[in-house]
Amino acid sequence: AALRERGWDEAILRHLRYGGRLLGICGGLQMLGERLHDPLGLEGAAGSSAGLGLLALETTLEADKQLRNVQGRLSL
């Protein structure tokens, strides 16, 4: 909701329309998906919210969070 309230959704979509690239990490990746579900209210009020719909994914936050260190390589 905050993304849309600040107009960032339109800015991101405009950036992509003009050939820009976008990288989402952690919560940023979740916002690029279709929906974000927080049924337990772990990061705010319990419920679901719409993402930007740029990726075909949905995220559900769960109480048992697993954190891992990973390595990768980015080629642009």
pLDDT digits (tens, 9 = 90+) for 9-60: 999 999 999 999 999 998 899 999 999 999 999 988 999 999 999 999 999 9
Query: For residue 69, is it within any domain?
Result: no
Q: Indicate the pLDDT class of residue 4, thresholds 50, 70 and 90.
A: confident
Query: For residue 71, is it within any domain?
Result: no
Per residue in 3-40, is it b (16+ CB within 10 Å) or e — as a string?
beeeeebeebeeeeeeeeeeebeeeeebbbbeebebee
Number of domains in the chain: 1
Domain that holds residue 43: 2-60
Query: For residue 70, is it within any domain?
Result: no
Query: For residue 73, is it within any domain?
Result: no
